[in-house]
Structure 1
Amino acid sequence: MPALRWFACALLVFASGAVHAADIAVDLELVLAVDVSRSMDAEEQALQRNGYAAAITHPDVLAAIQDGPLGRIAVTYVAWSSPVGQQVIVPWTLIDGAESAAVFAARIAPAAFDGRFGTSISSSLVFSAGLFEGNGFSGERRTIDVSGDGPNNSGPPVAPARDAVVAEGIVVNGLPIMLRPSAGIGIYGIADLDVYYADCVIGGPGAFIVPVVGLEGFADAVRRKLVLEIAARPSLVLPAADRRVLGASDCLIGEKLRRNWMNDR
C-alpha cells in the first residue's frame, strides 16, 4: 500500500541513531507543533503564538523545568498546515531558566506565518519526529505537542502516522483548539475535536490532551499543558463528567468532509 511505503520511508529518515558524545543531556526534548492552516484566523494564530510565548516564561513552567533531574529542556517551535506546509520557526533551544526562556519566547511572538490550505496533522507528526535526529540534544523523554483546530483532512491518514511516530519512542500530546466550534463545523471542523484528538492523534505512555474552549483560557491551557509535559504528569483527557465515548471517533472524518465538500462544488 502506498501509505505504508510512505511511512516506512519516513521512519528511515528519522530513525534514532547513536547518541553523539557532543549531545547535551536534557530532561526533555519537546517539539511545539502549531497549526497555521487557513482555518486558523489571524486572531487565533496570534492567541496561539502569544499563549506559547507567555507560557514558556511563566514561573510555573520555569519551576517545572528546574525541578527536573538536570534542570533543563530542549524546545523547538514548528508551524504546520498542509502536507508540504511545515516550517521550523524557532530552532532547537536549550531552556534552563528565565533568561533562555525569554529569548525563546521573543522569537515566537512575531512569528506570523501564512499557512496553506489543508490540515495535515499526519505530515506534521512525521516532520516533527524527524527533528529529533541530530538536534544536538539527548533527552530522557521525547515529546511532540501538536495543536490544531480541525481534524486531519489532507496528506496520509493520521492514525498510522501517529502509530509510526509512537513506535519510535516519541510521545504525542494534543492541544485541540475549540474556540469557535460553531464556525468550525462543516468543511474543516467537527464538534468533538477533543475526542478526535484523544482517539486519533495522541499516543505513547502518559499521552494526554488539554482542550482550549475559550479565548480567555488559551494561555492558561498552554501553560498547564507545558507544566504537565515537562513534569511528566499526565492530565485527564476529558472531564470526568463528560459522557462522550472515547474510541468511537472516525479517524478519517476530516478526509470525508473534505471529499464531500469538493464533490458538492
Structure 2
Amino acid sequence: MGFRRLSTVAALVAALMAASPWLSASAARAETEVDVALVLAVDVSRSMDPDEQELQRQGFIEAFRSPQVHDAIRNGMLGRIIVTYFEWSGVEYQHVIVPWTVIDGPEAAVRFAASLHDNPIGRLRRTSISGAIDFGAKLLEQTGVEPIRRVIDISGDGPNSSGRSVVAARDEAVAKGITINGLPIMLKRPTGFGDMENLDLYYKTCVIGGEGAFLVPVQERHQFADAIRTKIIREIAALPAPSLIQKVQAEPPVSCQEGERGMYRWDRN
C-alpha cells in the first residue's frame, strides 16, 4: 500500500515537472498581454494656437487622472493597457513625449498624466496626418507586449498637407489590423489654405478606419476635456458614450486630396 502511494506521488511530481515549462510559458505570456496598445498622436502644427495646444494637452492629462478612465482600464478583460503619446506636424516631425507605458491601475495612470504635464509642447509647420499614421504603426510594432487590440488616436485641426496620401497610409494601417480613431478640432472658421469647413467629414472619409473606428469632433473649447476623456474610455474598453460621439453630417462632398493639392506650396501649417 505504501509503495503504491509513493508511486502515485512520484507520478504526480513527474507530471507537474513535465507541465512546468508549459505553465511557466503560459504565465509569462499572460504577463505580457494587454487589452489595448494605444497610440496617442497629437497635432502641434502652427495652425493650432498655443492656448489650443495647451487645452489639448490638459485634456489628455485630465483624462488619465479621471476615475472614469481608471474604471475603464480595470474593467477590461485583462485590466491593463499600454499607451504612448507623441506629437506630430510635418512629415519629418514626430516626437515621442511619453514612451510605451503599461497602465494597470490608477497610480500608473496618474504617473502617465504627470509625465505629460512635465514635458513642453512643440509647435512646427505643416500637417502630415499620413506621417503620423505611419509613425504610429511603427510604434505599434515596438510595444514588447501582446495587445488584444491596436489603436491609433489622431487629433488635428486640418487636412493632410505634407507627406504621402493619407488614404494610402490609413489603408495600410487598417490592413495590419490597426484601428484609427479621430479627434477633429474645429474651433475656428476656415480662413485659407490648410483650413477646412467640414473637417469632421474629412476625418470620417479619409482618416479613420478599422474595426469599431469612430470620431469625436471638438467644436467648442469647453468640449476638449470631455471629448478626450470620452474617446479614451471607448478606446480602452469599448464603453458606449453616445452623448459626445457624434455622427458626421454627410451632406457636402469632401476630397481626400484637399490639403495634398497644395503640399508643395508654402503654407502656415
Offset of 1:75 from its aligned partner? 0.3
Uncovered stretches (5+) of structure 2, i.e. residues with no partner: 1-27
1:57 aligned partner:
65
Pairwise CA RMSD of aligned residues?
A: 2.2
1:44 aligned partner:
52
Rounded to whole Å, the distance in 1 between the matches of 2:111 and 2:240 is 28
**Corresponding position: 1:152 with 2:160:** yes
Amino acid at match of 2:88: W
1:227 aligned partner:
233
Q: Select which of 194, 207, 215 maps to 1:209.
A: 215
2:149 aligned partner:
141
Contact 1:188–1:258 (CA<8 Å) still a contact in 2? no
**Corresponding position: 1:251 with 2:259:** no
Q: Select which of 174, 177, 188 maps to 1:169.
A: 177
Offset of 1:40 from its aligned partner? 1.2
Change (3 A) 1:255 1:58: same
Matched residue of 1:253: which SS?
coil
Q: Select which of 78, 87, 102 maps to 1:94.
A: 102
2:17 aligned partner:
none
Percent identity, aligned pairs only?
A: 49
Tell me which moved more, 27-36 or 230-239. 230-239
Change (3 A) 1:254 1:234: farther
2:224 aligned partner:
218
Contact 2:87–2:96 (CA<8 Å) still a contact in 1? yes
Uncovered stretches (5+) of structure 1, i.e. residues with no partner: 1-19
Contact 2:87–2:122 (CA<8 Å) still a contact in 1? no
Change (3 A) 1:22 1:110: same
Change (3 A) 1:76 1:243: closer
Over 6 Å off, 4+ runs: 234-238
Matched residue of 1:55: which SS?
helix
Contact 2:94–2:132 (CA<8 Å) still a contact in 1? yes
Offset of 1:245 from its aligned partner? 3.4
Deviations 1:170-198, CA, capped at 9 Å, x for gaps: 00000001112x1x441221010000000
Offset of 1:116 from its aligned partner? 2.5
Contact 2:215–2:246 (CA<8 Å) still a contact in 1? no
Rounded to whole Å, the distance in 2 between the matches of 1:211 and 1:243 is 11
1:124 aligned partner:
132
1:113 aligned partner:
121
Contact 1:33–1:145 (CA<8 Å) still a contact in 2? yes
**Corresponding position: 1:66 with 2:71:** no
Offset of 1:111 from its aligned partner? 2.5
Amino acid at match of 2:256: C
Offset of 1:114 from its aligned partner? 2.5
Offset of 1:22 from its aligned partner? 9.2
User: TM-score when scaled to structure 1?
Assistant: 0.84
User: TM-score when scaled to structure 2?
Assistant: 0.83
Matched residue of 2:140: which SS?
coil
